[in-house]
Amino acid sequence: MKARAFTVLLASAFVFAGCASQTDTMSSSSSASSATSSSANASKIAEQQRKIAMLETELRNKERQVSTLTTNLDQARTSTTAAAPGSGNTSAVGDLFPPNPRPGECYARVIIPAQYKTTSKQVLKREASERIEIIPAKYEPSTERVLVKPASTRLVEVPAKYDMVTERVLDKPAHTVWKRATGKGAASGVAVASGGAAAMIERFGDQKVLETRVEDTGEVMCLVEVPATYKTVSKRVLVSPASVRQVEIPAEYKTVEVMKLARSAQERRIPIPAEYETVTLTEKITDEAIEWRPVLCEVNMTVQNVSSLQAALSKTGCCKCGPNRNECKVDGIIGPCTIEAARCYANQKGLPSGDKYITMEIIRSLGLKF
């Protein structure tokens, strides 16, 4: 009888909603008696009975597995007894089963959130410093004679000077030419000396005869001296050449109004005290862990209990189902929406949670008793 009870307790570690077969039968009877109160739940009762039959079959299979594990456990305990105290083998085997299981409860390994504590601390927000104020310089109006244009020189071009002069220039130089004497005496303009052709002719017109000769034809040829001829011309002559003259240009000054510095700019240092603020620090006390905890299973997963759970979760703000995604459907059936809402509530309260289980800590925190 004692071995049978131990086997049933071990089976609860492997079945999602598995507990003792006698307890399942009582849960089935309780569900059936609750379902017969309303004809509308007939189909649900049939579904629950089908699930119970499946679970009983699965339970028998698990019992065979538990029997094998029990044998292995006995062997492990025997070897552990011979080993040194505090050996890690004992804890490794012990983690396979929930510690101190109680009849009528189902267990699952769930995530225990990390524990934190909040403390307040005064920290330095801004170090002590100083503020620098600048006192601007002060200026006063005044007059001042300032140079507008410095002294300089300018080059002035002086053009060349010319004058018109008249001078007598040689037109043709003096030369000689042979001329034929055409007459005698004054009629021909030739003075012929007595004595025939051989006689000297002194003048040929107004020109001096230098030599005479008689041609075979009897003509008299005179070598006449033609004097030079001159002409008077006017020309433009340079009196003074072009030049450049340097002209001095004096500096130019102007009296203007200026602002003179009356007082230089100054600075004033104003001390600013340090500033502190109070901050809230979150310190981790324990790390996240995985432990065996009692969970909701077929023993207490009745339509009435599940409906009460769904109604309680709807008031927490964790439900994300429904048309407006702000409610949990109260249908008495555990579904993804109900499990997700339970996880959300567990995270808010720092309670253990799992992906496929609803721990009894969540049930008790919601004020439910089943």
Give me the residue spans of the domains in the chain: 1-104, 130-156+242-272, 167-239
Looking only at the bridges linking them, the beta strands covering 152-158 and 243-249 are antiparallel
Kindly report the backbone phi and psi dihedral angles of residue 300, in degrees, each rounded to the nearest multiple of 5, phi listed first.
Answer: -115, 10
Predicted pLDDT of residue 202: 59
Predicted pLDDT of residue 6: 34
How many CA atoms lie less than 13 Å away from 118 in the CB half-sphere?
3
Predicted pLDDT of residue 17: 35
Are 359 and 353 a contacting pair, CB within 8 Å? yes
Closest CA to 264 of 137, 134, 133: 137
Closest CA to 117 of 318, 284, 242: 284
Predicted pLDDT of residue 39: 64
Burial class (CB in 10 A: 0-12, 13-18, 19+), 40: exposed
User: pLDDT tens digits, residue range 88-127?
Assistant: 333 444 467 788 888 777 888 887 878 888 899 899 989 9
The CB density around residue 191, as the number of other CB atoms within 10 Å, is 15
Are 145 and 257 a contacting pair, CB within 8 Å? no
Sequence length of the chain is 370
156 pairs with which residues across the strands? Answer: 245
The CA distance from 335 to 144, in Å, is 97
Instruction: Name the DSSP letter for residue 200.
Output: P
- pLDDT tens by residue, the chain, 370 residues: 333 333 333 333 333 333 333 333 333 334 434 444 556 577 778 888 888 888 888 888 877 777 777 776 666 666 544 443 443 333 444 467 788 888 777 888 887 878 888 899 899 989 999 999 999 999 999 999 999 999 999 999 999 999 999 999 898 999 999 988 765 443 344 444 434 444 445 567 778 888 888 888 888 888 998 888 999 999 899 999 999 999 999 999 999 998 899 889 999 999 999 999 999 988 888 888 888 888 888 878 889 999 999 999 988 988 888 777 777 888 888 888 999 999 999 988 888 887 888 989 999 999 998 7
Predicted pLDDT of residue 273: 94
The CB density around residue 321, as the number of other CB atoms within 10 Å, is 18
The CB density around residue 132, as the number of other CB atoms within 10 Å, is 9
- What's the Cα-to-Cα distance from 54 to each of 18, 64, 92, 265, rounded to whole Å? 11, 16, 32, 96
- Which amino acid appears at position 69 of this protein? L
The CA distance from 58 to 39, in Å, is 30
Closest CA to 278 of 153, 144, 123, 156: 123
